[in-house]
Amino acid sequence: MHYDRELDVQGLSCPLPILRTKKALAEMGSGEILHVLATDPGSVKDFQAFAKQTGNELLSSAEIRQVFEYYIKRK
């Protein structure tokens, strides 16, 4: 999938992946896509809730070899 920016938060625990994602999205333009790589298993629920609360769109989430991958479209 095409993305405009990548954020690697592997090795970080809650709430750092969400906080860094929030900061990265704030620096991006509307409609741009952020690709996030995380290793915190709790990030699955965190990113779903984050997207719902902020209005940003969680386009895709997947787990590949214990790395969670998210594509988030900025509102």
What residues are paired with 61 via a beta bridge? 70
- Burial of 9-26, coded b for 16+ CB within 10 Å and e otherwise, reads beebeeeebbebbeebbe
pLDDT tens profile 13-66: 999 999 999 999 999 999 999 999 999 999 999 999 999 999 999 999 999 999
Q: Are 33 and 59 in contact (CB under 8 A)?
A: yes
Gap between the Cα atoms of 27 and 12, Å rounded: 21
The yes or no reply on domain 5-73 and CATH 3.30.110.40 is yes
Per-domain residue ranges for the chain?
5-73
> What pLDDT sits at residue 14?
93
> What pLDDT sits at residue 56?
98
Q: Tell me the whole-structure pTM to 2 decimals.
A: 0.96
Give catalytic residue positions. 14
